[in-house]
Structure formats: C-alpha cells, structure tokens
Amino acid sequence: MSFQAKADVPERTYYDVEELGLSVEAAGNLYSKKADARVVNELLINEKFLLATKQLAAYFTLTEKYIRTMEKKALAKLNDMMNDGKVL
C-alpha cells in the first residue's frame, strides 16, 4: 500500500547558495557543522539582528563610497601636480 501526503507549504523551502548571497565558505561552514545552523537560524529570524545587518550594510556602503571619493580626489590631485611639474 502506498501513502502520499500533500503538504501545503506557503513558501519555497529550497534555495540556491548563490541566490541567498552566501559564500562557498559560509555554506561549507554550515554544511560541515562548523557553524551551528540552529544559532544561525535564530539570528536570521531575530528582528534586532536583522536591523543590525541593515545598519552594517549601510555602513559598508557608505565606507565604500567614501573610499572611492577619496581615491578620485587623490588621483585628481596627483594628476594636477604632475601637470604643474611638481611631480616627475
């Protein structure tokens, strides 16, 4: 006798590692149990942790923009100095 059950799952339950934005190393740590999936799960459903990740993402974005801006300014200054003959 065969029994088949149909589960009503409102959302997908399988995701590709790349689709989730995880690195191969992070996924490997979860798979090998170097990172405790229960702890990671609790973090990912905690509202305060989610807020912290958004704040860190904003910080990284602003830092990257600042670094690019400073690089452009430094290169422009160096270019000006080279054109003025102050730098050989």
Q: Is residue 8 part of a domain?
A: no
How many CB atoms lie under 10 A from the CB of residue 21?
A: 7
Q: What is the pLDDT of residues 4-62, one digit of tens each?
A: 555 566 787 888 888 999 999 999 999 999 999 999 999 999 999 999 999 999 999 99
Q: Is residue 5 part of a domain?
A: no
Considering its fold, how many domains does the chain have in total? 2
- Whether 54 and 78 map to the same domain: the answer is yes
- Whether 24 and 40 map to the same domain: the answer is yes
Domain that holds residue 60: 47-88
- pTM for the model stands at 0.59
- Whether 85 and 60 map to the same domain: the answer is yes
Q: Is residue 18 part of a domain?
A: yes
Q: Is residue 37 part of a domain?
A: yes
- Whether 82 and 63 map to the same domain: the answer is yes
Distance (Å) of CA 29 to CA 2, 22, 23, 34, 35: 38, 11, 10, 5, 5
- Whether 58 and 76 map to the same domain: the answer is yes
